[in-house]
Structure 1
Amino acid sequence: MMYPGMMASSQGRKRKYLPRAPFGFWHATRYKSPRGCLLRPPFPLIRPMRPVNNRTGKRSAFTKTKKYKFRDVTVNHLKERQECPFDLLLTQDLLKRNFELVPERFSVGGLSYLVELVIRVVESYMLDPEPVEGEPVVATVKSVGSFEKRTLIAGKNVADVAVVFQGLPSAETINSFGKRIASQIMDFDSFFDVTCQMSDRGFNIVGHMATVRIIVCTIPANYCVAPPECHMEMKTLFSNSMAIGHARWFQQFAHHPAIRIIVRVMKDIKSRCKGFSSLNPWMIEVLAHYCVTTVPHSSPPISAGLAFLRFLMLLSSNALSPASIGFLDPCDSTTRIHGKLSLEEMNSIRQTAQFLLNLMAIGGHRLVLGLDKCSYDVTERGISLNGFSLERVAQLIDENNRAHFERYLYMLRNKKLPLDNDVNGQTACQSTVEKAEEACGSLPAEAAASSVPAEQMDVQDNAEKV
């Protein structure tokens, strides 16, 4: 007879098991396991490691997009929405517009070959056994941007390649490095007659049919020791390095084809609507990923047309406003994707999205997608369609009430805004603001100059000397 804990070949002594009282009701409801499996805990022995936002490469530095519940515009009645005939028509027109925006195979082939040549030449420069003195040391090279993410639009044959240096090269060093790369490309393939042009983020390899933008980065250890006379600002270097993380995140999580379709169509709408000019590609990609992937577990995957409609709904509902929780940056959990937008830019995004939704409500979705051409920007001048007249949406922020909005946001961020039912707190807050304005207005020039810290005065003097 075998007992728990005995091997097949063991000659263990037979033990007499005494009858024990049955386990209580709490055991049956919590564990729901037989008596022989009590030694196994009801939780996994090895807990998964949390993804940490580090740049060492040992663990995944990217997390999925933070999913917020905008129930008023995204989740309610989603199952019934699948059978809406307008969504089916919108999806068909969206796919048709996406087919028009996909670049031709010939242009993409030439751009792909030029990108491959640039990467091959830079890698051969990295493996050169006899490096030239004074030349920068390259740590790595990677293709980034719309070309790497496969969201390129027809008519824009431009690709991005990130080159990470181990040091902080100067502008002259980058210029000589770019000319050397261009000469080696022409030596490798005489068909390409390319030139090197300097830019704010690095340099460009310009050819007849395509252009490759080389963005210059450095390793994270150099951010703290960067000299003030560096060839470019630290913000530019940091944004260039973040482009590599954006490309990796998009390849890892944005695998759904509807995400690329929405990103490509929104880039085209951005080029036609002035109000969307402040939307950068990273914001569009994160929002498109949220609209496609954030669905209830019990509902089927949503269509591309409904995801596009949810995209405009989020923008029109002030999802990118200062008072909104917004969307966290998947590659940097300490910031939000709309943190650098001004009040006017946020207002223009909301205003344009609301106008486009109103235009789609009266049957103008083909005009929104770009299938029906228009000679002017309808979001700026309005339009008359199907017996309806749409005018430009009124602005919430202008020169008259801008100071009021800034004061409100400052008090909201510093947690000094009183509640609606707190009359005494509102009165005290208003009196405090009035006193502060009076004090700032009555402050003499000499006192204002003396109130500036000494360190700030030194920085201002040095800036004037430079």
Structure 2
Amino acid sequence: MYGRKFQRNQFLYYQTPSPFDLPSLNESLYFPKVNESDNDSMILHTNLLNSLYRKNTQLNPSNFEGFTLNELVTKVTSIIRHMMSAQNEFQAFRIKEILQVGSFKNGTMRCGKNVADLLILLDRVPTTMLVQEMSVRMHALLNDMQSVQIVPKCEYLSVEMTSKGLDIFNDSARVSVLIGTYPEYVIKISEENLRTAVKHNIAAIQHSKFMEENSNPFAKILSRVLKFIIERNEKLSAINPWMIDAFACYSIFSNYLNQPLSLNQAFLRAFQLLSTGIFTISYGVPDPCKNFQFSINHHLHVAEEKDIIEAAQGILNKILDGKVDEVLELSD
């Protein structure tokens, strides 16, 4: 009930193209190509592509991470399904649905970020006390499960409450159980922080559906690499994960030819767009999960917009100067 299908070419319906974004128009008509060394351009893009593939290999989760996280997701899912089926015992929670969302679902998870998001939809108004009681009951079920097994200390599961729900984790992996509900109950949540968190959690359903239906392997690699760069630059910290996912798709698919760009072209274009102010109030990337009526960057403050432009220009200068390995923190 929360998802809808978006076509890739819907990204063409933006209001104002970012300045000097050549893929958004027929550059042969507006910016005739001058004589330049095609060899230099080829070397730049070849090196750029090779470096991006190398970095993606480094960022891919290891087999151990994938195995431990999948194992934990299976355990947590089985516990939640037990709570859904044992209605007499857990009627107070009224759990109706369980969904995978986030980077684990989207295929953009990175090594060292061994976290999966599970969203549970309640058929009632959530409260902090309800979430607290749920965490206690889940912890008890986990203890019962582990009491009949020989569990190494590093694999023993713990539970803690978070601003978005609760986390179940051990030394190797973590599952974030996000609390959600249906639209008729959201407006009845009296706690402002919880209401904001629930809205954010619910939005993750559409975000994951969008990535599933509108991304391609290059978009996932680009998203993973951008998250790595942004995480290491404080001036880019206002760019949240959903902005990165949507922006990665925009950089690849939104162009006048309506054909996906290559990974290296999209990576370069992404920083060209950021450098020229794509995330300012004058431009922006329309949010495909809000009927393109709002931009994904509408919440940014002016100071944050300036920081993003400044940081992106510095990164772009390094890329064009052949220092992409420095940007990606690659060593020989």
Q: Distance in 1 between matches of 2:89 and 2:173?
A: 30
- Which residue does the alignment assign to 2:22? 74
Give the TM-score of the pair, scaled to structure 1: 0.62
Matched-pair contact (CA < 8 Å) for 1:170–1:231: no
Report how far residue 170 of structure 1 moved: 2.4
Matched-pair contact (CA < 8 Å) for 2:167–2:176: yes
| Aligned ranges 1:76-91 → 2 under 5 Å | 76=27, 84-91=42-49
Q: Distance in 2 between matches of 1:264 and 1:276?
A: 15
Which of 239, 246, 252 matches 2:207?
A: 246
Report how far residue 98 of structure 1 moved: 0.7
Which of 101, 108, 111 matches 1:154?
A: 111
Report how far residue 146 of structure 1 moved: 0.9
- Which residue does the alignment assign to 1:311? 270
Say which is worse superposed, 190-199 or 87-96, in terms of deviation. Answer: 190-199
| Aligned ranges 1:152-231 → 2 under 5 Å | 152-189=109-146, 190=149, 191=151, 192-226=155-189, 228=190, 230=191
Matched-pair contact (CA < 8 Å) for 1:63–1:331: no
Report how far residue 131 of structure 1 moved: 3.1
Displaced runs of 4 or more, over 6 A: 80-83
Q: Distance in 2 between matches of 1:61 and 1:139?
A: 23
Residue 66 of structure 1 aligns to a residue whose secondary structure is helix
Looking at secondary structure, tell me which structure has more helix per residue.
Answer: 2
Which of 274, 279, 298 matches 1:339?
A: 298
Which of 45, 50, 66 matches 1:108?
A: 66
- Which residue does the alignment assign to 1:35? none
Which runs of 5 or more structure 1 residues have no equivalent in the other structure?
Answer: 1-54, 374-466
- Which residue does the alignment assign to 2:195? 234
| Aligned ranges 1:447-466 → 2 under 5 Å | none
Report how far residue 312 of structure 1 moved: 0.5
Letter in 2 for 1:284: I
- Which residue does the alignment assign to 1:328? 286
Letter in 1 for 2:139: A
- Which residue does the alignment assign to 1:138? 95
Matched-pair contact (CA < 8 Å) for 2:139–2:158: yes
Report how far residue 61 of structure 1 moved: 5.7
Higher relative contact order (CA 8 A, sep 6+): 2
Matched-pair contact (CA < 8 Å) for 1:320–1:338: yes
Matched-pair contact (CA < 8 Å) for 1:321–1:346: yes
- Which residue does the alignment assign to 1:371? 330
Letter in 2 for 1:177: M
Matched-pair contact (CA < 8 Å) for 2:165–2:177: yes
Matched-pair contact (CA < 8 Å) for 2:6–2:213: no
Letter in 1 for 2:20: D
Residue 217 of structure 1 aligns to a residue whose secondary structure is strand
Structure possessing the higher radius of gyration over alpha carbons:
1
Letter in 2 for 1:310: R
Matched-pair contact (CA < 8 Å) for 1:141–1:161: yes
Q: Distance in 1 between matches of 2:229 and 2:188?
A: 42
Report how far residue 240 of structure 1 moved: 0.9
Q: Distance in 1 between matches of 2:90 and 2:114?
A: 33
Report how far residue 225 of structure 1 moved: 2.9
Which of 228, 232, 242 matches 1:272?
A: 232
Give the TM-score of the pair, scaled to structure 2: 0.86
